[in-house]
Amino acid sequence: MIKKYQSAKKRRTIAVRSKLRAKSSLPRLSIFRSLKFLTAQIIDDQKGITLAHAKGKNPAEVGAEIAKKAHSAKVKAVVVDRGSYRYHGRIQKLVDVARGAGLTI
């Protein structure tokens, strides 16, 4: 049962990421959600480096922090890599706050 869930999750993650890479050359805003924390990273896949990162419990704080760090790294536009998660709840809140703080998504 657990292996079936893990393989389905990995398949969803790969599907989302491959669509992003095929359609855009922008850096990606990768979001990881655990039971307690949210982690957001802005990754440049062409260079293979992380440009900015933020971690916290509150999605509004993480979204504002990642947008601020993106501006200091001179990143204006990103694409959202939601991984295997649906675009609702804490993921949506983080992205909406980052968009409101001036990050083009």
The correct answer on CATH 3.30.200.20 for the domain covering 2-100 is: no
Question: How does pLDDT run along the chain (105 residues), one tens digit per residue?
Answer: 889 999 999 999 999 988 888 778 899 999 999 999 999 999 998 899 999 999 999 999 999 999 999 999 999 999 999 999 999 999 999 999 999 999 998
Model pTM greater than 0.85? yes
pLDDT at 61: 97
Q: How far is CA 80 from CA 3, 5, 29, in A?
A: 27, 23, 5
Domain ranges of the chain: 2-100
H helix and E strand count, the chain: 3, 4
pLDDT at 66: 97
pLDDT at 23: 76
